[in-house]
A and B are shown apart, each in its own frame.
Chain A
Amino acid sequence: MWTTPKHFAAGAGRTVILGFRHHAFLRSGPEFGQFGSGLPTLPPTAALRCARCAVQCASVPSLTQSNRSNLATRLCLLGCACQGSRYCTEISFIKMESEQKENEAVQEGGDVSDEVERPEKTDPRAIGELINRRSASEITIEATVDTGFEFMAIEECRAKFGKDIHVVKERGRIIFNIDKAKYSEVLQMRSVDNLFLVLSYDSSVGFQGSNSVDDIAIAAKQAHTPDWDCWLNVWKELVGFKGIVRPTVEEYASANERATKDKEEEKIRQAERQKKYKERQERHAAKRALRKAKADLKRAQYNFDKAEALKTIETDNKDDTVIVSGGKDICTGVCAETSLVNKSDPVKDDPIEEPSQDIVADSENDKLVNKSDPEKDDPIEEPSQDLVANSENDKLVNKCDPEKDDPIEEPSQDIVADSENEKNKSDPEKGDPNEEPSQDIVADSEIDKQDDLVEEKIECGISAEHTDEVKVSSVISPSLEDAEVNDDSEDEIQSLPDYDREVDLEIDRTVPEEERVLRFRATCFRVGKHCFGSMEAAREFGGALQDKFNWVVDLVNFHAEIILFVVKDTAQVSIALTKKSLHRRNISFFGPTTLRSTVCHNLLRLADVRTGDIVLDPLAGGGSVPIEGAMSFPGTFHIGGDNHYKAMSRLYSNVRVLHEEIGKDLPIGAVRWDARRLPLNEASVDVIVSDLPFGVRLGSKAGNRNLYRRVLLEMARVTRPGSGRAILLTQDRRSFALALVGTMGLWWQSKVMSANIGGLDAAVFTLRRTPKVRPDEADLKAAAELAKDQEKWRDGENSREGYGRGRSRGHQGRGRGQTRGRGRGGRGRGYPRGGNKQSGSGGNWRDHGPKESLKTEAS
């Protein structure tokens, strides 16, 4: 099954014993002697296998290009489930046999795709052969799929049309022959986006590569290759076009006049659409600017008050606690911006995270009330820390004492300080101002952001006076919750903005269908090196078609789109069958990161959802995954949940619209929850399919590390051990890999696939649930150590990459000693903050690469 890697000299030890974490030391010799630092460079197609559990831990191609050659990095990011969270000590380099054969056939060093499943190398003649194989009643259909998911589409083909169907796989598309009568079934495929009818294929066009005019002419000649008589009729039948496909010159002339008029109307409509869009953008920008201004003012106030408080309050005040919400992000954000005053916090730019530093600077009730109104719209975007500070002073003092101990603890001290001050000072104003802050604090703690960075809760020393405040607030907070929920119920279904509601106008409406002349558009896609561009080729190609048929040219409102697809020296002519992409289904209300239905379908297919399964999406957002699951996989139940009220509103609306459309209810359950604390029983779910926040549009990469780990742990808890599986989509591979290692032997990664999601190089991780019900002692200990390491890594990385945690953290984190050992979320694990000499520079090993760390080891 596994063969010896080609690269390594045939020697005894194929097994390499590797050490842990960030330094890899090797025991076996001869294979690696050739590599200077002693660390081998793994060939890109190698995979790593745990010798103990004989399971493929991870495939090397799943790691990024930059660290592909760095074994230590790779191993640090891997972990084999059989060892729990510890890194696998016995990893052998293997190459799959099929890969080996393939590599023998292909030049080494050619670019290898990232997929674990090795497809047959695409043969330029394959499509041609497919066409030749076609029988009289069949048509050749090309379907586009998201890159990476082609195999799922092929699977669907096989499931729908029989196992014998021969499908050619190309990058981003699949091509197959199908009986014309079955076309309606093809339209119901759920894993593909667009369908095209392949008209002709030329596997060696004969581009000269010298003269662009000549080559373009050659390309344009392709317009004559298809058997138009036959195919136009087939196309008419399939698409339902009743007009004229072979107009006479007179018919063309009149049609062209109509077309010109229509084009002008279209231009006007376009201009209106643009205007509306711009206005909308402006409105949003204005809102944002206003909020920002308010936030700046309040922050300035807060800084000043904090500075004041620092002088008066002892910092040793830390008793037990009421947990104040807000994550590291807030405090670090605050700290960052207090220490780097005029620098704009990168975290702040994200509108969702930005107001988390909002601080209510005004202790007057009015301002509070006013503030809470606009904020009602968006409690999450709200300040997760509202502090009523003293508003009497308008001086802005922007200094944060960097010598202050733990930056996280610090602001919380100040929160305390401030609330203390504030309480003392504004007693007469009692009621609201005092309750508001902690209410908001607590309320926001429930409305925890999904991308929250609450890894360590901030403990403030709050004196007993405040406990009843908090009690009061905890009573109040549910009502705040209710209030916002009630607000939602008023706008039952969100209304679609005008420009989204594009009515599909019929083309050439003024004449009956039979008299309409075909309007077409010619497009050219080009892959490879040519001496001409696709635009020029499209022009000539379209021109040739127009001369031949007298069709009306309309690039926007067309009946037929004819595509010339030039790949290196091959050319394919096809005609589009779907005007609107097939992925437009299910969802009516889109959020910031709504996943396309076809991608959802492919993920579910990858999960092998079977009848009787309960499928969970703990971070459902608008519910695209549960909805697609309920629609495509009958006999399953889907539970989706999110913590953001807007997402829940969208989920509710989407489901409701679907219910109305199909007339009956779908087997979907929706619950509002925090994915890090799922209110589900152990082992109650069979499959998890989810689109984790990438950290690009929603959340942050820094927050992801923590979020992924906690979410993975929770998911492990609720999934059935042994048979459970999870398909998780994320772009942040690194955070995911790190988090996975911290899941204490509950998950093992069986496959990683690359996928193109909106242009981002995302990865789909297939995880299987190990039979372990709970992590055992060894796992827990290892996890604790791992977390310790991750702290160090994070600090080390911070200085280099500034992962958004506030630049001050990196500097202040180390060298602190054990002062705040207990202060870390009460976990009872003191983190030696940089006290560990060995990792003094080891913490930065990533900055300098493995050689340095080895040197440190050696010395």
Chain B
Amino acid sequence: MKLLTHNVLSSKCLKGVSVGYPLRLNATDIKVVDVDYNSEFVSRMIPKLNYSALYDAAQSIGHHNGLPDTVAEDYENNEDFLKAVHHVLLEVDIVSGDLECPESGRKFPITRGIPNMLVNENEVNEINGSNGCNN
């Protein structure tokens, strides 16, 4: 699971959870892979990300070297920054471990790099007429 995926995952659908983000990362097996670098992609992603969550996640697994804790000014031209963000976003792959909901403690296991976010019926808000998880 890449940290970019982690950045958009939340456990809001669980009962009693109001925010459910960011999920705590407990990684037991991490792999660093090689992904094509595309500076335009990274610079467009940065405003869409939750940077602090990304930094915290990277820190919790110890891969935050070279990554400043806030977005650099004028990041679009800062190649080093972009490369560092690219590395953390796409090249750090968590193979196994789990994700933990910060509010309820519910753990979502990660196996073979794929987190399992299926929830039981009894853990979830009942579906009502409006958006299920929206309220």
Residues of A within 8 A of B (CB): 322-325, 442, 445-448, 457, 470, 474, 477, 481-482, 485, 488-489, 611-612, 614, 634-637, 639, 641, 643, 648, 651-652, 659, 663-667, 669-674, 676-681, 684-685, 710, 713-714, 716-717, 744, 774-775, 779-780, 783-784, 787, 825-829
The chain A residue sitting closest to B19, CB to CB, is A681
Are B132 and A713 within 8 A (Cβ)?
yes
B34 at the binding interface (Cβ < 8 Å): yes
A-B pairs, 6 with minimum CB distance:
A612-B44, A669-B5, A445-B121, A635-B41, A665-B33, A679-B117
Contact B129 A485 (CB under 8 A): no
Residues of B within 8 A of A325 (CB): 121
Instruction: Assess whether B51 is interfacial by the CB under 8 Å rule.
Output: no
Separation of A713 and B13 alpha carbons in the complex (Å) = 14
Q: What residues of chain A lie closer than 8 Å to B48, measured between beta carbons?
A: 612, 614, 684
Contacts of B2 in A (CB 8 A): 667, 669
Overall SS of chain A's interface = mixed
Say whether B5 contacts A671, CB under 8 Å. Answer: yes
Closest residue of B by beta carbon distance from A445: B121
| Least CB separation from A668: chain B residue | B2
Q: From A325, which residue of chain B is reached at the shortest CB distance?
A: B121
Determine the chain B residues whose CB is within 8 A of the CB of A445 once the complex forms: 120-122
Per the bound structure, the CA–CA distance linking A774 and B119 in Å amounts to 24
How far, in whole Å, are A775 and B135 apart by their CA atoms in the complex?
A: 11
Give bound CA distance, A245 to B128, whole Å: 70
Min C-beta distance of A659 to chain B, whole Å? 8
Docked-complex contact A664 and B36, CB < 8 angstroms: yes
In the complex the two chains form, is A676's CB within 8 Å of B128's CB?
no
Q: Does B34 contact A664, Cβ atoms closer than 8 Å?
A: yes
Residues of B within 8 A of A744 (CB): 130-131
Q: Which of B107-127 contact A (CB under 8 A)?
A: 108-109, 111-124, 126-127
Partner of B114, one of A636, A672, A681: A672
Are A825 and B121 neighbours in the complex by a CB distance under 8 Å?
A: no
**Does B8 reach chain A (CB closer than 8 Å)?**
yes
- Chain A residues closer than 8 Å to B82, beta-carbon distance: none
Indicate if the CB atoms of B40 and A612 lie closer than 8 Å: yes
**Is B93 engaged at the interface, CB distance under 8 Å to the other chain?**
yes
| CB–CB B129/A827 < 8 A | yes
The answer on a CB contact under 8 Å between B113 and A652 is yes
Question: Interface readout for B1-42 with A: 1 if CB under 8 Å, 0 if not?
Answer: 110110011111100000001000000000001111010110
With A442-B120, A637-B90, A671-B5 known, 4 other A-B pairs at CB within 8 A are A322-B122, A634-B41, A664-B35, A780-B129
Q: Name the contact of A485 in the complex, choosing from B111, B113, B119, B120 (C-beta under 8 A).
A: B111
- Report which of B5, B109, B124 forms a contact with A639, defined as CB distance below 8 A: B5
Residue B134, interface by CB 8 Å: yes
Q: Is A648 in contact with B114, judged by CB distance below 8 angstroms?
A: yes
Known contacts A665-B90, A679-B12; is-contact A442 B131 (Cβ 8 Å): no
| Contact between B118 and A673, CB atoms less than 8 A apart | yes
Name the one of B5, B36, B41, B132 contacting A710, with C-beta atoms under 8 angstroms.
B132
> Known contacts being A447-B118, A489-B112, is A775 close to B130, with CB within 8 Å?
yes
A710-B41 Cα distance, complex, nearest whole Å = 31
Q: How far is the CA of A664 from the CA of B91 in the complex (A)?
A: 10
- A674 CA / B93 CA spacing, docked (Å): 23
| Contact flag A684-B93 (CB < 8 Å), given A489-B112, A612-B45 | no
Bound CA span A783–B9, Å = 28
Contact A665 to B109, CB < 8 A, known contacts A446-B121, A774-B131: no
